[in-house]
């Protein structure tokens, strides 16, 4: 059964679950939103959104060194208690996030972290490209919006396709861990080093 993006968005807004989780639940429920909500609740995914407002001040700082010491990552991932921080599931999640950063080179944790001037510059570039290629003025804004959504997926860690399963995003991966561990989990910050990067 084909599920429209509009219905998936509606379910996402109601549950806070990831796009692919919503799509799968809707397919399982033959497009019935209420049934899909029940499916997500049973899987524990809808719980993740409810926990998002809780303070996460414990957690781990982890490092990952890749490629024979050529790329290094430090990442801080927070949860609510040291009990969860010490679990293998949480440690595995933090390590996966560090590997994601090493492999996919995000610039920001989430879209809200992108400075306004950087976003404006990107929009101007996309607009100029669209106009130069002869696209009609009235559809240029739609083209720019589409490209900005793609830009978010490239530069924002939480919106990137997960390196081990591109059917889900990093946020989906975190939501699954929230549902399993029962605590809010937040990627606070990261830094990625590439050997010789700044040497002129």
Domain count along the chain: 3
Query: Where residue 141 sits, what CATH number does that domain have?
Result: 1.10.286
In angstroms, the CA 48 to CA 178 distance is: 5
Domain containing 141 equals 115-154
Residue 84 sits in the same domain as residue 125 = no
Closest by Cα among 178, 129, 177 to 151: 129
Residue 141 domain-assigned (yes or no): yes
pLDDT greater at residue 65 or residue 66: 65
Judge if 62 and 96 occupy the same domain.
yes
Residue 55: its pLDDT value, please?
73
Residue 200 is assigned to a structural domain of this protein: no
Assess whether 106 and 174 both reside in one domain: yes
In terms of domains, do 80 and 90 share one? yes
104 and 163 share one domain: yes
For residue 108, the model assigns a pLDDT of 97
> SS3 of 16, please?
coil
Supply the pLDDT for residue 200.
63
The answer to whether residues 17 and 100 belong to one domain is no
Q: Is the pLDDT of residue 18 over 80?
A: no
Residues 104 and 179 in one domain: yes
Tell me what pLDDT residue 189 has: 96
pLDDT in tens, 128-141: 888 888 888 788 88
129 plus 88 within the same structural domain: no
Q: What's the pLDDT tens digit per position in 75-126?
A: 999 999 999 999 999 999 999 999 999 999 999 999 999 999 999 999 999 9
Listed residue (192, 157, 190, 196) closest to 72, CA to CA = 192
Shared domain for 74 and 166, answered yes or no, is yes
Same structural domain for residues 92 and 177?
yes
Does the pLDDT value for residue 15 go beyond 90? no
Smallest Cα–Cα separation from 141: which of 157, 124, 155? 124
Residue-wise pLDDT tens digits, 140-177: 888 888 999 999 999 999 999 999 999 999 999 999 99
Res 79: pLDDT:
94
Quick one: pLDDT at residue 48? 64
Q: What is the pLDDT of residues 32-64, one digit of tens each?
A: 988 888 888 777 666 666 666 677 778 999 999
Residues 106 and 123 in one domain: no
Catalogue the long-range contacts made by 110-116 (C-beta closer than 8 Å, 24 or more residues apart): 110/156, 110/157, 110/158, 110/159, 111/152, 111/156, 111/159, 113/156, 114/155, 114/156
Share of the chain above pLDDT 90, in %: 54
Tell me, yes or no, whether 90 and 189 share the same domain.
yes
């Amino acid at each position: 059964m084909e599920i429209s993006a509009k219905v998936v968005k509606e379910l996402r807004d109601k549950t806070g679950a990831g796009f692919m989780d919503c799509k799968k639940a809707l397919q399982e429920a033959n497009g019935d939103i209420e049934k899909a909500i029940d499916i997500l609740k049973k899987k524990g995914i809808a719980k993740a959104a409810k926990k998002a407002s809780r303070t996460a001040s414990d957690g781990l700082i982890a490092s990952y060194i890749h490629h024979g010491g050529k790329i290094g990552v430090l990442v801080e991932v927070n949860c609510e208690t040291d009990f969860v921080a010490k679990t293998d599931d949480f440690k595995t999640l933090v390590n996966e996030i560090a590997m994601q950063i090493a492999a996919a080179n995000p610039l920001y944790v989430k879209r809200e972290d992108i400075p306004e001037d950087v976003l404006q510059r990107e929009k101007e570039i996309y607009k100029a490209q669209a106009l130069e290629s002869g696209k009609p003025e009235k559809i240029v804004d739609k083209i720019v919006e589409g490209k900005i959504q793609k830009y978010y997926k490239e530069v924002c860690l939480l919106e990137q396709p997960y390196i081990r399963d591109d059917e889900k995003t990093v946020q989906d991966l975190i939501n699954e861990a929230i549902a399993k561990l029962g605590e809010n989990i937040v990627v606070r910050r990261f830094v990625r080093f590439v050997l010789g990067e700044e040497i002129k």
